[in-house]
Amino acid sequence: MFTYKFAAIQRTDRTNTIVKLSVTANTERDARCQFARQYILFLSARIRENNNHV
């Protein structure tokens, strides 16, 4: 699993205000599917989830 971070512009926002979005998903495609209908997305980071259990 990864945490994907995006800079995004809402499709209906005429001021083009950039927002930051974050989602946990297996692939970038899965992550984009979470927001693609509402936002134009620009990938800014992919961070591997640390699953080390002590």
53 found inside a domain? no
The pLDDT score that the predictor gives to residue 19 is: 95
The pLDDT score that the predictor gives to residue 53 is: 57
pTM: 0.82
Residue 50 contacts residue 23 (beta carbons within 8 Å): no
pLDDT tens for each residue of 7-52:
999 999 899 899 999 999 999 999 999 999 999 999 999 999 887 6
The pLDDT score that the predictor gives to residue 47 is: 94
Counted domains in the chain: 1
Beta strands, E only, the chain: 2-10, 18-25, 39-48
Evaluate if residue 54 carries a pLDDT over 60. Answer: no
Angle (CA) 49-45-33 rounded to 5° is 85
Edge-first strand listing for the sheet containing 39-48: 18-25, 2-10, 39-48
16 found inside a domain? yes
22 found inside a domain? yes
Residue 38's domain comprises: 2-48
Determine the Cα–Cα distance for residues 8 and 16; give it in Å rounded to an integer. Answer: 9
